[in-house]
Each structure stands twice: as structure tokens, then as C-alpha cells.
């Protein structure tokens, strides 16, 4: 089933010049970009995005970090993409992430773990709606799609 997911390259990925390397991994896998924008997240949006963590000890630090610099907010489309991109990202703690995953290859600490990806189809819908308007989502057909999907 074709799904959409929300992926955000966090300020550490942007500052370290890793955007192209990470985007290339998703494209090489065969996923299709539907929307991308470089942005500074307003504090209010960050608090809504990470609302499930409100009241936890790391919440304020997380909000300060995610609003500290530009992020690359993206929507990707593909078969079983929500679960597959979670695998490509690797474990939340980079020390537990396997080599070959984004966090395993690029991140050092949980608090600077490079990338966020939706954890369910429902979360993806909510996060996409937080960061993108309908007119920013581009539906399109690639000529290579028959080579990717039966």
C-alpha cells in the first residue's frame, strides 16, 4: 500500500551539511518526494509537534534544540514507507543504531540524532498537516514507478 510519511532533518543535520546525503538515501530506495521546505520552526509549532512529550524532563531542551536552527521538513511517498523509513533511520539512540542506518552512520548522541520520522500512518497524517498546506503537497507520477512497483 502506498503511504505518505513526514521526515524532518533536524538542525544538526542541516548544520553539518548532511541534507543531500540523507535525501539521496530516500531517493535511491525508490521513495518519491512530495514536499520539502527549509524552515525555522516557530516555538508554538515545535510544542504542538512534540506535544506527547510535554511534562517530560527533556521537553524544554528538545524544543530549544529543534527551534535553534533551520530544519528540512519533508513528505515522502512509497509502499510501506512509514515503517521502512523508521528502519532506515535506525534506533533513536545512535549508540544502538546499526551501521548503514542514518543515525548509525551520522549521529553520536540521542539529543543530536539527525532525523525525525513519523512512527505511524496516523502520526504521519498529523505531522504532515502541521507542517504543510494542501497546495504544498505535489502529487506526481514518475516514469520509473513501473520499475519499482508491480
116 catalytic residue (yes or no)? yes
Q: How far apart are CA 125 and CA 107, in angstroms?
A: 27
| Candidate list 12, 22, 116, 128, residue with the active-site label | 116
Task: Give the start-end residues of each E strand in the chain.
Answer: 2-9, 32-39, 71-79, 115-117
Q: How far apart are CA 142 and CA 52, in angstroms?
A: 36
Which residues have a catalytic role annotated? 116
Amino acid at each position: 500500500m502506498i503511504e505518505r510519511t513526514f521526515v524532518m532533518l533536524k538542525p544538526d543535520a542541516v548544520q553539518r551539511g548532511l541534507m543531500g546525503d540523507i535525501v539521496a538515501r530516500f531517493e535511491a530506495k525508490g521513495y518519491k518526494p512530495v514536499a520539502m521546505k527549509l524552515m525555522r520552526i516557530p516555538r508554538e509549532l515545535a510544542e504542538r509537534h512534540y506535544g506527547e512529550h510535554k511534562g517530560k524532563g527533556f521537553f524544554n531542551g528538545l524544543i530549544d534544540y529543534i527551534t535553534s536552527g533551520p530544519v528540512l521538513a519533508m513528505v515522502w511517498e512509497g509502499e510501506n514507507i512509514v515503517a521502512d523509513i523508521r528502519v532506515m533511520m535506525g534506533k533513536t539512540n545512535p549508540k544502538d543504531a546499526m551501521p548503514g542506518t542514518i543515525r548509525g552512520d551520522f549521529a553520536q548522541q540521542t539529543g543530536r540524532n539527525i532525523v525525525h520520522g513519523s512512527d505511524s500512518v496516523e502520526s504521519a497524517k498529523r505531522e504532515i498537516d502541521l507542517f504543510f498546506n494542501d497546495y504544498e503537497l505535489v502529487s506526481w507520477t514518475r516514469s520509473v514507478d513501473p520499475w519499482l512497483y508491480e
